[in-house]
Amino acid sequence: MNHAYAVDTLATLTIRAVGPATSDGRLALSELARIASALQTILERIGFSILTGRPRRMGRLPRQVAESVQLDVTGFHEGSAILEVERSAGTNSTDDLLSDAFRVLTTGIHELQVDNTRLPLHFTPSVVNGLVMLCGGIGEGNIHRIEFSSSGSRWFTLDRGSRASLKAAQRISAQKEITVVGRLHMGDFDPMSLRCRIDTYSGSVSCDLDDDLKDTVLDYLDELVIATGTAELQADGIAVRVLHLSELTKIETTKFQTLDDLATKQRIQPLTDPASLRGEPIDDFDEFLENIRSTR
């Protein structure tokens, strides 16, 4: 894709979500927010990497980057669920950072779909995480794919295969796969991703997840679980900032029973006569005691 043609692609960018969740031409507001917000954030992160030549630092993005890659929603149509976006009227197109960022995004996704063993240029860990969030609603009963096109040309499609490639890319970035054990608690549903919390013996771990794990998380709420996923670590390289869940298993525990329940189950009756504690008489018991005394 040459530079001039890339400019035209963003005159009107069409985003089409396809799947059971859009069969009647509707789309949940949370899913719409996830797609739009994730795309905008990804373009900002790529734009920052292009301008500075280094990964995005923690903190707020410079205003010039955010303004240069800003998109506006211009329409929503039926037909699976079609969202139209265009470059913002206030976008600074002097160096056309938006087109450059979109070109990098398109090229990088195609490269990952072919080879997910290395990260494409400007695909920092935060960019990969943003793409995984964008794919978070893709699942069997929700959205099957998200298509990005303009002027009759399809630039890229995100589906379950794309999500698998992105998750593989997560594992080769500055993150690592870990397993934690703790009690599962549900947090708020962020528009960008589904979230929950796992309380371990050493502290709480914030997690996000894909739509495929949503029902499992709800079923295991307040249960002890084993959770596996890719962890983003804090600057100390030890504390987990967020765990991207890939697998969740419930730990079977013994049910709590009261003493009355146990007594009933074991057919134990209350003691009514202390004499019953004396037990049966033992033959030659006096002789036994005498033998013990003689050894002293």
Residues 61, 173: contact at Cβ < 8 Å?
A: no
Output helix, strand, coil percentages for the chain, rounded to the nearest 5. Answer: 40, 30, 35
Q: Using one digit for the tens of pLDDT, what is the confidence trace for 11-50?
A: 688 999 999 888 777 888 888 888 988 999 999 889 888 8
Distance CA 99, CA 150 (A): 13
15 bridge partner residues: 83, 148
Residue 60 is predicted with a pLDDT of 44
Sign (positive/negative) of CA torsion 207, 212, 218, 221?
negative
Rounded Cα–Cα distance for residues 109 and 228 (Å): 25
Q: Do the Cβ atoms of 229 and 243 come closer than 8 Å?
A: yes
Which pLDDT value is given to residue 5?
Answer: 41
- Taking only the tens place, the pLDDT of each residue in 170-200 is 777 656 788 999 999 876 666 556 788 999 8
pLDDT at 157: 93
How far, rounded to the nearest angstrom, does the alpha carbon of residue 273 sit from its chain's CA centroid? 63
The dihedral formed by the CA atoms of 63, 69, 73 and 79, expressed in degrees to the nearest 10: -150
Rg (alpha carbons) of the chain, rounded to whole number? 30
Q: Where are the beta strands (DSSP E) in the chain?
A: 13-18, 71-77, 82-87, 145-150, 153-159, 176-186, 194-200, 203-209, 224-233, 240-250
The backbone region for 27, taken as left when phi is positive above 0, alpha when psi lies in -120 to 50, beta otherwise, is beta
Does pTM top 0.95 for this prediction?
Answer: no
Structure tokens that stand for 276 in this block = 């019953």
The reported pLDDT for the residue numbered 53 is 64
User: Which residues of the chain carry a pLDDT beneath 70?
Assistant: 1-11, 53-62, 79, 90-95, 173-175, 187-193, 235-237, 254-256, 276-277, 279, 296
What the chain holds in terms of domains, given with CATH numbers, is: 3-172 (no CATH), 176-250 (2.40.50.140)
Total residues found in the chain within this entry: 296
Written as six digits, the tokens of 204 are 């709480």
